[in-house]
Structure 1
Amino acid sequence: MDVALPFSGIGFFLLSFASVAILLFCKHFLSSYIKYKYILFSLIVVYIAFFLPFQATIGILLFSLYIYLIYYVFSYSGYRKTLLPIVLVSLPMILFKLDVDGMYKIIGISYITFRVIQAISDQKNYGSLDFFEFTSYLFFPPTLLAGPIDRSYRFKSDLDNGYANISTSNFVSGWELLVIGGLYKFVLAEFVAKFWLAEIDASSTSIVTMINSAYSYTLFFYFDFAGYSAMAMGVGIMLGISVPRNFDKPYLAKNPQDFWRRFHITLGSWLTDYFFKPIYMYLQRFSYFRGRRLLVQNISITLTFLLMGMWNGLVWHYIFSGLLFGLYSSIHNCYVHYVRKGGTDIFSVTPNILSLCMKRLLMVNSVVLALYVFSGRVPL
């Protein structure tokens, strides 16, 4: 059968619409006999088994067995600490980032690993998922390759709602997001890539060319990624799963914190809950850091963004771009602290609208620089 990677071509969309039709049929004729979560699970298994590349299917199968063993052993053994299972779950992803050959070449491994870590970390608060729920959560096709990163307890709530989310209104809402996402990814991103980005000599050290490359890549990256996320939301809603929003006008952000509340929202939220907060609490155990809240915040922020860079890949441009984002947030933290202590806010000397424009201009250009580094197009 033809390969249909998520949102890679017409095949995936046809499969998605066929899945919606099957769920709608089951809602009207089989809902008394078989639960929604079993139908969704079956559709996901069929997709992985028959419509992904053979090597990807084998990789997911082996990875699943490994993940299931860790998740359920630690779930039912009464073992309360989460660090060991998290380290074990992360090993395949680390090997993948180190470019180790073998079973670790698994599509979507970074996002799948973060989902597993979240499910393990929140078991004590929200309980464990059963086999069908856990599998569907990890390998839900619209979010398999590039997120958004859902939370297991939120995903489970949609499964528990059953067929109620399969409705005409949700299909229309999903269709609107799908069309917008398709416009972003397949029209605008492709237009920028073909007629702007591709025309630039990435090896040129001319300042004008590098600036041109930076802005074109930033625009391409936004349309491509935001488009993918919108389509994932749209197909998810059609299938009865409310995939969380990932973008909210990020280039209107006025500071780094505001930016990460708008850009790749689910990753920023995940890193805050499962990395920044634990690191922050851990550092406060040391007597040296007590009373040095700003320092602890900045160290935790920097380490968090460093992790984000390494999560994208263990190459210098991903890591350095993460450090840049960490530096932006730390500088903003220090500036806010300075103003609160009575320092002069340089943005307050201008009218509000001009001040807002200045903040947005500074932020968007900072992001352009970091994403230019992220792109690997810097001629070094």
Structure 2
Amino acid sequence: MYSNAYFFVWLFSSALVFAGVNRYLKHRLTYLVSFSVLTLFGWVHIFRDQFIIPVAVFACFYGVAWMKEKHWLKTWQAVSLTLLPLLLVKLHLNNHWGMIGLSFMTFRAIDVLLYRKKEDAHAFIYYFCYLFMPFVILAGPMYRWNSWLKDIKQTSFVMTCDLFLQAMQQIFYGIVQKFLFAMLIDREIISHWQHQPFSWTQGVVLSVAYSFYLYFDFAGYSNMAMGAGRLFGLNIPANFNLPILAKNPQDFWRRFHISLSEWLRDVIFMPVYMHLLRLNYFRLNKTLAQNIGIFCTLFCMGAWNGLERHYVVSGVLFGLMSVTHNMLLWTAKKRPAFGCWLQLPPVSFAGRVLTLAGAAVSLYIFSGMSPL
């Protein structure tokens, strides 16, 4: 979508029309009406070749949410049913449900099930726009339900010159990241090295190159989505914060794909961790409960793309890196001398290097280009 010049013409034209009509009506144009029209046009354009599948998916998601509000389904049952189409597609058991943006649409539907308040239970239009908003339908960032409601329920939105220029700057920044840096890395390095016989040199080059490619490609997309949302008064969350500066695995996931990392923390880590603490054994071994929750969360970070071997292995590596770091922190608390040793500049620098090297190897495996 963001690789099509026509999309930007449509985007800026829509933003100017929205701002102009709203100003003409003295800012009486509601967000709900405006964004409903925008989402409907976006939906028609994106799914112009396959209307039935998105309608069926939306009906399924909305029906499950409605039954949960009626207390006909428990939360875990509703979440399981919402995940079912995505699982069937990822397991290649039913590819007919496959559609653009199914993964993040499923996650947003689950966010509604977990965090929607009772007074918003029957907001059909809000739900439709949230699932099918054109800016983030393909690959995130993970825009939470409560943040969406806060933005969309604003009484008025005034497009100022400064706000427009800020949005343009962020979109331009994303264009440079995605269509200059990422494209150059892909054409000049990855496409050249990936067809050569495997060697350690090839593995190192592709690990580093793919990590930078993925960062620039995804960060560029995220910046364009954030800038596009800002044109319409939406505060789509930041998704990257210079992961190359990460001090450790925990810090890396605070900087890389931030919105999904935080969402998985709330949806997977906290429920798993709190459930384990109900058991006497884990109340006496909280670090073990943390490690299980961390591993499950980071495993899902890699494996939610599918259960092919490279996704599973990368998820395992993500989890092992973070569990190892958590054990080092636990040991440092038990042994102050070891904690002081970890704070030494050479050791701290080595930790940064190992973090980035481990992330690069994991992402290389995730790409499917490695022999694993």
TM superposition score normalised by structure 2: 0.94
Question: Kindly tell me: are residues 154 and 346 of structure 1, through their superposed partners in 2, closer, same or farther at Cα, counting changes over 3 Å?
Answer: closer
Structure 1: any 5+ residue segments left out of the alignment? 1-5
Match of 2:235 among 233, 237, 242: 242
Q: Decide which of 4, 8, 13 is 1:13's aligned counterpart.
A: 8
Q: Distance in 2 between matches of 1:67 and 1:21?
A: 33
1:133 to 108, 126, 139: 126
Pairing 1:183–2:183 present:
no
Matches within 5 A, 1:39-58: 39-49=34-44, 51-58=45-52
Query: Residues 284 and 296 of structure 1 are in contact (CA less than 8 Å); yes or no, is this contact kept in structure 2?
Result: yes
Q: What 5-or-longer segments of structure 2 have no aligned partner?
A: none
Corresponding residue SS for 2:255: coil
**Contact 2:314-2:366 within 8 A present in 1 as well:** yes
One-letter amino acid of the counterpart of residue 298, structure 2: F
**Aligned-residue RMSD, C-alpha:** 2.0
List structure 1 runs of 4+ shifted beyond 4 angstroms: 31-34, 124-127
CA contact (8 A) 2:42 2:133 kept: no
Partner of 1:357: 349
Aligned residues of 1:115 and 1:149 also touching (Cα < 8 A): yes
Change (3 A) 1:120 1:166: farther
Task: Answer yes or no: is the 8 Å Cα contact 2:27–2:156 preserved in 1.
Answer: no
- SS at the partner of 2:310? helix
Superposition pairs of residues 1-380 of structure 1, within 5 angstroms: 6-30=1-25, 34-49=29-44, 51-75=45-69, 77-78=70-71, 81-101=74-94, 103-124=96-117, 127-128=120-121, 130-164=123-157, 166-202=159-195, 204-342=197-335, 344-345=337-338, 348=341, 352=345, 354-380=346-372
Aligned mates of 2:297, 2:126 — CA distance in 1: 29
C-alpha contact (below 8 Å) 2:248/2:355 kept by paired residues:
yes
Change beyond 3 A, Cα 1:263–1:201? closer
2-side partners of 1:177 and 1:129: how far apart?
Answer: 35
Quote how far apart the aligned CAs of 1:314 are. Answer: 1.5
Indicate how the Cα distance of structure 1 residues 300 and 230 shifts in structure 2: closer, same or farther if over 3 A, else same.
Answer: same
* Cα separation, partners in 2 of 1:342 and 1:350, compared to 1, 3 Å: closer
Q: Deviations over 1:252-308 (max 9, x none)?
A: 000111111110001110011011100111112223222111111111111112222
Alpha-carbon separation, structure 2, partners of 1:132 and 1:18: 23
Q: SS where residue 54 of structure 1 aligns?
A: coil
Does structure 2 retain, via aligned residues, the 8 Å contact 1:232–1:243? yes
The question of whether the paired residues in 2 share the 8 Å contact of 1:248 and 1:262 is answered with yes
Equivalents in 1 of 2:182, 2:123: separation in Å?
A: 39
Once the two structures are overlaid, the 10-residue window that deviates more, 222-231 or 343-352, is 343-352
Q: Deviations over 1:322-355 (max 9, x none)?
A: 1111101100111011011015437737754x44
How many correspondences in the alignment? Answer: 372
TM-score, normalised to structure 1, is 0.92
